[in-house]
Amino acid sequence: MKTHDVRVRFDDLPEKSLLRPEEVAGFLSVSLRTVYRWYEMGLIQGTRLNRSVRIFRESVIRQVKERQNE
């Protein structure tokens, strides 16, 4: 994936700083379970709000960019 393509895709990512796992799964075209697994493994960072997980938007962007450079 080219950098320009990634930038265009980031425009589709909601601007809020905390994302629901469902939003991350839809953006990355992966399963919800994959998002939770990545969170548990520390590949993407987030926080727990009450009993819900929220993923940091910047963590998703950073992970995509790191994978792009591999």
Beta bridge partners of 54: 47
Residue 29 in tokens: 């075209």
Domains delineated in the chain = 3-68 (1.10.10)
Other Cβ atoms within 10 Å of 62 Cβ, number = 13
pLDDT tens digits for the chain (70 residues)?
A: 344 454 446 766 677 899 999 999 998 889 999 999 999 999 999 999 999 999 999 999 898 888 877 7
Q: What is the pTM of this model?
A: 0.78
